[in-house]
Amino acid sequence: MLRAGANELSELIRRLGSRRQACVDAARARLASIGPRAVEELVQALEGGDDRIRGRVMPLLALIQDRRGRGPLIAMLLDRSSRLRETAARSLGRFPSSEAVNALVRALEKERSEKVKIAAVQALIEQYDAGQDQAICKVLELITDASLPTGLRLAALALLPRLRPSAWRGILERLQEDPCEDVRRAAARIEEPAAGCADPGRAVAALGSNDYAVWNAAVTALAGGGAAAIDPLIAEMQSRAHDPEFCKRAAMALKAMGPRRARAIANALDGVEEPLPLQMLVEVIGALGEAAQVYRLKDLIDRLARRTTDPGDANGLDPLERVRAKAHLELARIGSRVAILDLCEALGDAERRVEVELLTAVELIGSQDEIGLLLGVYGREDEFVQQRIGDAVRAILKRERIRRNDRMFRSLGRDQQRALQEILPPPAPRRVRRASQAASRSSRLPATRA
């Protein structure tokens, strides 16, 4: 099963280099749905020689948002191709972290291409939206520097509406006297009262634009449109289920509507069948944080568990299983074990590969009852998933205060015992420990003079 999955991933990545857009779209949607399982293959593709594939891999890593993709994207900021550096900068906006912010700031300081700099500014604004407050410092510097290119300053101006009016009033007053007419005009528009979404259909269509300013404005307009924009957004997500980037932008707009719209979004779950839109809606419901609506993900879990499918058709990589796992994760984040029976059933299904989100859920809410299941899964998974299983087991042992020599471990089978030894290596004999401690002490002693 593992070999078949790896073969499928290699073929999907090869298709990213196709000149047929339909082929690229299908591969991209499938890889986005597979998620963390595809990350290692995607990172390896960045080291290849096909720039078309490399350019299409980076946005996928940004959509999956697995931390293993962050370092390679930072490295791509130094690529010889300015087009690929621009793509890397945009992609890093989806990896909220101090490392990504520092890399983007360095790119702004050293980069020569204006397009790459604009992409870095837009990524820093996304970083700020995701909670990285330090990301705005460099962007604020650019706004009032009249010596910089107009396009770069206009990109930086997109930050101001995200701040409190008290924070940008003084900046706008200075910009009224700016020598650049385009900057003065853009600053004046920021002070205009925000309008609602008069035409949701038009705003939904604008989400698909390749122009950051256009689709970012559409996100803001749809968020202001409230409930009237929800149905058109979700309908378009379903019709463009092959387009991960559009679905991600639609999810951004839904999140920006705030918790009051959580019920309407949760109501839409029953009418959605495609994996990628479903996955995004689950993430939105979790991000909005309304417990009553998060609990409704149990109904989605039950619906997905009732499916009758042949796991072999998907080479052991089923996108809807990832949706199911994400729903479990959102329930676990609010501390709920309401779906624990299904979680255990999914863990024990030898016909399917274990989703990473499912392991994170067990790490959050698992008890000693789930340890045996985790150890049973360990031997049939790859190294990355084994590490995540180890994290989950150690988290449960710490939370439940279970010792390594607890009698519960005596009933484990041979394979489970072997897995436990790899996760929790037995302590060294007392004599070896004493010798190690003595050597450590002697190494700390000050040197004596002859």
- First vs last Cα of the chain: how many Å apart? 66
Name the residue with higher pLDDT: 442 or 312: 442
- The helix/strand count (H/E) of the chain reads as 27, 0
Q: Does the pLDDT at position 235 exceed 90?
A: yes
Nearest Cα neighbor of 86 from 30, 28, 155 is: 155
Residue 69 placed within a domain: no
Angle value at C-alpha 285, between 165 and 26, nearest 5 degrees: 105
What mean pLDDT do residues 187-214 have? 79
Residue 155 placed within a domain: no
Residue 73 placed within a domain: no
- DSSP code string of 6-26: HHHHHHHHHHTT-S-HHHHHH
Nearest Cα neighbor of 200 from 240, 254, 239 is: 254
pTM of the model: 0.80
Whether residues 430 and 351 fall in one domain: yes
Percentage of the residues of the chain whose pLDDT score is greater than 90: 60
Q: Does the pLDDT at position 149 exceed 90?
A: yes
Question: What's the rounded Cα separation, in Å, for the pair 132 and 299?
Answer: 34
Q: Which residue has the tokens 């697995």?
A: 66
Nearest Cα neighbor of 419 from 432, 409, 405 is: 409
Residue 4 placed within a domain: no
Q: Does the pLDDT at position 433 exceed 60?
A: no
The single-letter DSSP state of residue 193 is: P
Question: What's the rounded Cα separation, in Å, for the pair 241 and 26?
Answer: 9
Name the residue with higher pLDDT: 321 or 191: 321
Residues 237 and 280: beta-carbon distance below 8 Å: yes
Q: Does the pLDDT at position 342 exceed 50?
A: yes
Nearest Cα neighbor of 340 from 386, 373, 385 is: 373
Whether residues 218 and 277 fall in one domain: yes
**Length of the chain as a residue count:** 450
Residues 272 and 247: beta-carbon distance below 8 Å: no
Q: Which residues constitute the domain of residue 392?
A: 305-318+338-443
Whether residues 310 and 427 fall in one domain: yes
Which 3 state secondary structure label does DSSP give 231?
helix
Percentage of the residues of the chain whose pLDDT score is greater than 70: 89
Residue 387 placed within a domain: yes
Average pLDDT of the chain?
88
What pLDDT does residue 424 have?
87
Question: What's the rounded Cα separation, in Å, for the pair 142 and 216?
Answer: 20
How much is the CA Rg of the chain, to the nearest whole Å?
A: 25
Residue 100 placed within a domain: no
Indicate the residue among 239, 263, 295 that finishes a domain: 295
Number of domains, the chain: 2
Q: Write out pLDDT tens, residues 30-80.
A: 898 888 889 999 999 999 889 999 999 999 999 998 999 999 999 999 999
For 436, half-sphere exposure in the C-beta direction (CA atoms, 13 angstrom radius) is 7
Question: Roughly what angle, to the nearest 10 degrees, separates helices 21-34 and 244-256?
Answer: 50
Distance (Å) of CA 62 to CA 16, 26, 78, 248: 16, 18, 18, 10
Question: What's the rounded Cα separation, in Å, for the pair 97 and 360?
Answer: 20
Name the residue with higher pLDDT: 6 or 378: 378
What pLDDT does residue 42 have?
95
Q: Mean pLDDT lowest for which of 188-192, 268-272, 332-336, 390-394? A: 188-192
Residue 122 placed within a domain: no
Angle value at C-alpha 191, between 233 and 105, nearest 5 degrees: 75
